[in-house]
Structure 1
Amino acid sequence: MNIIVQKFGGTSMANKESIKLVVKKITQELTKNKKVITIVSAPSGITNYLQKLIEEMSPNPSNKELDLILSLGENISISVLSSILKNNDIKSSFVNPRDIDLITDNNFNNAKIKRIDINKIYDLLRLYDVLIIPGFQGISEKFEVITLGRGGSDITAIAIAAALSLEYVDIYTDVDYVYSCDPKLVKNPIKNKSLSYEEMIELSSSGAKVLHNRCVEIAHKYDLKINLKNTFSNKTGTIIHDNIEKSFISGISLLEDNFIINFEITNLKDLSDFFKILSENKININIVSQSLKNISISINNKYYEKTISLLNTIKSNINILNINIYKNLSKISIVGDGIKDNYGIISKIINTLNQNKININMISCSEINISLLIDKKNICKAINLLHYELIESDLKKQEEII
């Protein structure tokens, strides 16, 4: 059975005109004698509306209640698309997670998929040419509706394609490519026609909103190629796969609104206990830096109130000293396979920002990622300077060589 999995995001399901384009993409695959599994997100803005609705009526909904209402947006999409396909005489059916045993763990609001019954998918595909499946959601072992976290429709699509052992999956969004930086932030973003899994994971984890990092991790594990395309154009898009090593930076991403906690420790057990408390309260740390007994950690602002309230408890149980908090910071991440072999890149970054009197509050490095925390007010200037020095100028040098 020749099967293709397509995923369409919220902008693709936003209105009648965009849904017509979705139908066109589906029909194009049907003409190639393929069976189509279409994963859809909620129409653009609907999930935010549903979350605001329940929080206005009930300020502290349980995670279980929140998941139940947030899952409704995708049900709108599958109902509308199914109706339109049938009106076009296409043998199709919408399929709920329960119908294919898309089972998750019990972590409401951020569940992970445990298994999918592919035999049930094959049985349905023998009856229909197109299956329409809601993204972002599954069911727990107790058959309760549960969501995979924001952006989870990507995860649904990749997980189903991986379960079926497909070679690739098409992810449709509203951008032509994964650009070297958000076009809203820089003047001359560069198109990435291909990226490695590692590069895409780093970009997604550090602020790029094109793909969910968990979906790329699954694709990497199962050697599943991701074709990122634009619903509204016929451009080739960006391919995510095992890429030939490159010698330049592939992208710069931004994660706004972070704060730093600086403190001192007397022993490693205290540090371990400190991180354990943060973990138990589901507070994610995005950068850790250590110099002897001095520790700096960066945390996104969405955890600020919870973190501050925990600090008094932490101080009374763990021996941490000289706590200082710095707010209004943004994290810039420079990503690329070329970083590991480019020994002068950190020097270039520091010199570029120093010459323009932009202070770096914190820096961390890995083989393919250099992350900086700087004052939020300098973000636009810093990103444009770094994008030019690390990406645009490097590309110009390569073109001159060619």
Structure 2
Amino acid sequence: MILHELLNYDTLRLIWWVLLGVLLIGFAVMGGFDLGTGTLLPFIAKTDLERRVVINAVGPTWEGNQVWLVLGGGAIFAAWPQLYAVSFSGFYLAMFIILVALIIRPVAFKYRSKLESKAWRNSWDWALFVGGFVPALICGVAVGNVIQGVPFRLTPEMYIYYDGSFFELLNPFAVLCGLVSVSMLVAHGAAWLRIKTDGVLADRARTIGSIAMLTTIVLYALAGVALWHWIEGYSITSVINTTGPSNPLFKTAAVSQHAWFTNYDSKPWTLLAPALGFAGTLLACLLLRARRDNLAMLASSLGIAGIITSVGMSMFPFILPSSVDPRFSLTVWDSSSSHMTLFIMLVSTAIFLPLIVAYTTWVYRVLWGKVDAKAIEGGKGHAY
């Protein structure tokens, strides 16, 4: 009870905003190299044996990596119910496409090598490509739309109405963000393949990964330029009540040019996020070229963390702006669950999240090492 009183409402709201970012970064880093590897599969591996090596590089761990996606969705549902309601209803078709792509992946993993037929295996290889490329692209497109504002409105009774359509999500800035996501995860997947493979596959991963990392830097920079020149941001124009009720209609907000850069101007330390995005990705490229594979993977992870964090830093305290009326926008301070709910969830997270991290660390330690092509060819020790 004392701890509950010490962690006041505004502190818990801020903690859960940070935790949501951590979970999203966790999924992008841990599940991201799975998606990137799947996207690379038809292009980086030329023979059936090479493709089996690539599949076995992620086959034993991809399921565990999806835990971060489940945790992220659960955190949104429990900590930010209005965010969950708007995003999962407004982006329903996009979410459905992601779900279909993610369902295809395990089927492809299990059935791909069941038959010797070349056509059969090629079909499942392209299914794995779809299962990696589509979620990476759509997640980036979703972020691009969130930055621009989503066409939803609220009634005085807190009913939520979404006024947009699926094809409106495919606007130029959102597609650019989607390409940033794809190139970022492809680079991450290539860094992972450098760790898990050797020979010609590792050499191809080095080349493709370097190109993807440089592409990520260029596209990320272009997104920043577009954000400065053409995308309007949001700002709160009324007094901010950090401990007030979860009702977005109690505030007033406005749309203005360069508003997403206000936090960088008022709090210069937030510039560390985009700096980490650029520096981490560039460092990963240099380390990959220098064949420092483990360090390259770490640097790639830091680059991903910087890019995702920069979105949160730019938008804070907004978590889902409304393009219909800025007043309807959801923020950290007016769209969370109750104080008690956030506290109980925080205690549960403090218990279970370290267990998940510890178990994941143990699994990767046990499974560490390169995939043995000879063992695959001999049919020993590999399931895929």
| TM-score interval for Structure 1 and Structure 2 normalised by the shorter chain | under 0.3
Bigger relative CO (Cα 8 Å, ≥ 6 apart) = 2
Q: Give the alignment's TM-score, normalised by structure 2.
A: 0.24
**TM-score, length of structure 1 as denominator length:** 0.24
Q: Per residue, is there more helix in 1 or in 2?
A: 2
Which structure: larger Rg?
Answer: 1
